[in-house]
């Protein structure tokens, strides 16, 4: 499949400088593009890559006036124009036909909506409900009494345990485990004794959960992932955690039990949140940040954690907090000495 440069210029509403009949058959980054492909340039720091690109054409800003060899399509937003072309050139999305595969195991009292697709070797237990247009992938497991809303995509090898509540248009990627027992134990007579985990997991509409992420069921009540939250691969969400609306959590983050994350929070990779912490709305946590205390709403951007012996860490922290006083004293001494 391909498009002429004139077709691409028309599609993007751009102004073409180059051969309108030239055919474009692919799209790639500035560094990877080759002849017959189109790329895009939107940031001056990538000018060296633009000058070396082997692409046949480039989406550039409307005010671009440098002399380069590839044809140019001037547009208001080169990144969005490029994205539209990528979608046009991409293979069609895979569609799953409605119906239950002969190898799937579906309980007689399970309720399946219209156009539901149940793929090979999936298991849907008694009392489960699956909404219209939802796909249950191969080898996926839907536990007893679980409710899954409409237009969800449950990829292969997802495990959703009993009594889980899932809204509409939720995407759960392969290997994710929803509603495993929370990690709760107490010492009784010198031995660890399991604390019953009898709560549920609730996942609201338009949530996406990455591969091999685990979301534990509540000890009691619910672990709650609110509307529009996006959770990356390999994230651990412990029992009774609440993740706010439209928050974004990157890979390898761990959130300990009963912590609450506000709306529109952003967490980088490997963030660690201790138990019973509240992170207010719209905070940003940079990669590897450790959170052990509450963060206020709109608190800004946070970063930093270093593992050292506790006594040493407390001493270092005290020193850091006194640095301002030390600098002031040094400045005063320098002034007296005329330095």
The pLDDT assigned to 89 comes to: 87
pLDDT at residue number 92: 84
Q: For residue 293, with 0-12 CB atoms within 10 Å meaning exposed, 13-18 middle and 19 or more buried, which class applies? A: exposed
Q: What pTM value is reported for the model?
A: 0.84
| Rounded Cα distance, 257 and 275, in Å | 5
* Residue whose pair of structure tokens reads 């999936």 in the numeric block: 122
Q: Which helix (H) or strand (E) holds 307?
A: none
Asked whether 207 and 231 are in contact (CB, 8 A), the reply is yes
Q: CA 258 to CA 195: how far, in whole Å? A: 15
Q: 99-302: which CATH number, 3.90.700.10, 3.90.980.10, 2.160.10.10, 3.40.50.300?
A: 2.160.10.10
Residue-wise pLDDT for 89-109, tens only, equals 888 889 999 999 999 999 999
| Alpha carbons 54 and 68: distance in angstroms, whole number | 11
Is 234:213 a contact under the CB 8 Å cutoff?
Answer: yes
172, β-bridge pairs:
154, 209
Overall CATH class of domain 3-89: alpha beta
Q: What is the pLDDT of residues 118-133, one digit of tens each?
A: 999 999 999 999 999 9
The answer to whether the beta carbons of residues 115 and 133 sit under 8 Å apart is yes
* Half-sphere exposure (Cβ direction) of 126: Cα atoms closer than 13 Å: 0
Domain ranges of the chain: 3-89, 99-302, 310-339
Where residue 316 falls (left for φ over 0; alpha for ψ -120 to 50; beta otherwise) is: alpha
Can you say how many angstroms the Cα of residue 266 is from the centroid of all Cα atoms in its chain? 10
Mind listing the pLDDT tens digit for each residue in 269-313?
A: 999 999 999 999 999 999 999 999 999 998 899 998 767 788 988
Residues of the chain with pLDDT under 50: none
Tally the C-alpha atoms within 13 A of residue 219's C-alpha that lie toward its C-beta: 11
Instruction: From 170, 123, 165, 131, select the one nearest 145 (Cα to Cα).
Output: 165
Active site members:
239
Q: How confident is the model at residue 59, as a pLDDT?
A: 97
């Amino acid at each position: 499949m391909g498009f002429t440069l004139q077709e691409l210029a028309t599609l993007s509403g751009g102004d073409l400088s180059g051969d309108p009949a030239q055919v474009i058959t692919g799209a790639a980054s500035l560094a990877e593009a080759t002849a017959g492909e189109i790329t895009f340039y939107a940031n001056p720091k990538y000018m060296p890559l633009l000058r070396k690109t082997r692409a046949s054409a480039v989406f550039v800003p409307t005010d671009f006036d440098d002399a380069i060899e590839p044809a140019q399509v001037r547009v208001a937003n080169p990144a969005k124009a490029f994205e539209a072309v990528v979608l046009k050139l991409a293979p069609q999305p895979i569609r799953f036909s409605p119906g239950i595969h002969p190898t799937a195991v579906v309980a007689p009292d399970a309720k399946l909506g219209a156009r539901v697709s149940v793929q090979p070797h999936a298991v849907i237990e008694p009392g489960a409900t699956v909404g219209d247009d939802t796909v249950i992938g191969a080898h996926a497991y839907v536990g007893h009494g679980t409710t899954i809303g409409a237009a969800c995509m449950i990829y292969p090898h997802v495990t959703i345990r009993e009594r889980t509540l899932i809204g509409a248009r939720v995407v759960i990627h392969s290997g994710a485990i929803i509603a495993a027992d929370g990690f709760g134990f107490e010492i009784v007579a010198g031995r660890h004794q399991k604390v019953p985990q009898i709560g549920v997991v609730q996942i609201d509409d338009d949530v996406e959960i990455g591969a091999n992420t685990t979301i534990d069921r509540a000890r009691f009540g619910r672990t709650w992932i609110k509307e529009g939250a996006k959770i990356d691969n390999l994230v651990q969400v412990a029992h009774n955690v609440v993740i706010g609306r439209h928050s974004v959590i990157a890979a390898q983050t761990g959130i300990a039990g009963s912590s609450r994350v506000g709306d529109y929070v952003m967490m980088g990779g490997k963030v660690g949140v201790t138990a019973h912490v509240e992170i207010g709305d719209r905070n940003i946590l940079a990669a590897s940040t450790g959170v052990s205390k509450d963060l206020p709403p709109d608190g800004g951007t946070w970063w930093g954690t270093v593992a050292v012996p506790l006594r040493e860490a407390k001493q270092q922290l005290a020193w850091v907090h006194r640095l301002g006083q030390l600098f002031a004293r040094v400045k005063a001494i320098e002034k007296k000495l005329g330095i």
